[in-house]
Amino acid sequence: MNVIDLLRYSYALQIVVLGSAVLGVTSGALGCFAVLRRQSLLGDAIAHAALPGVAVVFLLTRSKAPLVLVCGAAAAGWLATLLVLGIVRGTRVKYDSALGLVMASFFGFGYLLLSYIQQLPDARQAGRGFWAPGASRPRCAAATAAPRRPSARDTGAAAFRGNTSSRVYHAPWCRNYDCRDCTRVFRSEAEARAAGFRPAGDCLRR
């Protein structure tokens, strides 16, 4: 498989290439002005501040539309910029210190929301997979695809595996059934719940 085939059939690679191109154009154009005004770290702060914006918009709308998520990221970045400028003008804190304070605060809050979102049943991935929607995989990729390993559901076993680190259990049809930390085995969901385990986020909907 060559690069042309990957660009034609790989949805993930198309998104990565498009995002990298847009990022390179905008960063090159705006970065010159940021360096001249000695605000080169402002972009880093805005980038970290975008995470809570995306998380909050998803929690409010439950939408995965790119335009909706970008609007949330833009709003959070604008708020972070205003907060940095307000700290610099209203206090004796230096500019780089204000950037670090806002960047760490926003990113920590965003990571906290992200950890909560990952437990929600509708917070799944886009589901598009590696290949573009409606496109058939190239023959070489289809021929080299690894065969699906039969799960406990296929073999008739009724084992539920518990993750001892996060205290969640996975059913045989769950995506993370074969996780590394799933060392506990239960015969039923009732037994897993009685042991203090809760269902994993990828098991709430089949």
pLDDT string in tens for the chain (206-residue length): 566 766 676 777 788 888 888 888 887 887 788 778 777 777 778 888 899 999 999 889 888 888 888 899 999 989 988 998 899 899 888 888 888 888 889 999 999 998 888 887 766 555 444 444 444 445 544 444 444 444 444 444 557 888 887 788 878 777 777 777 787 888 888 888 888 888 887 666 54
- Which of 108, 125, 142 represents a domain boundary (last residue)? 125
Same domain, 47 and 121: yes
Same domain, 176 and 117: no
Same domain, 27 and 75: no
Does 131 fall in a domain? no
pLDDT for the residue 41? 76
What gap in Å lies between CA 182 and CA 59, rounded to an integer?
29
- Its domain, for residue 19, covers 1-38
**The total number of structural domains that make up the chain:** 3
Tokens standing for residue 173: 């049809």
- Which of 92, 108, 125 represents a domain boundary (last residue)? 125
Does 180 fall in a domain? yes
Same domain, 48 and 111: yes
pLDDT for the residue 56? 92
Are the C-beta atoms of residues 193 and 162 closer than 8 Å to each other?
Answer: no
| R_g over Cα of the chain | 23
Q: How much of the chain is helix, strand and coil, in % rounded to 5?
A: 55, 10, 35
What gap in Å lies between CA 206 and CA 122, rounded to an integer?
12
Same domain, 110 and 66: yes
Same domain, 7 and 78: no
pLDDT for the residue 17? 85
Same domain, 89 and 77: yes
pTM given for the model: 0.49
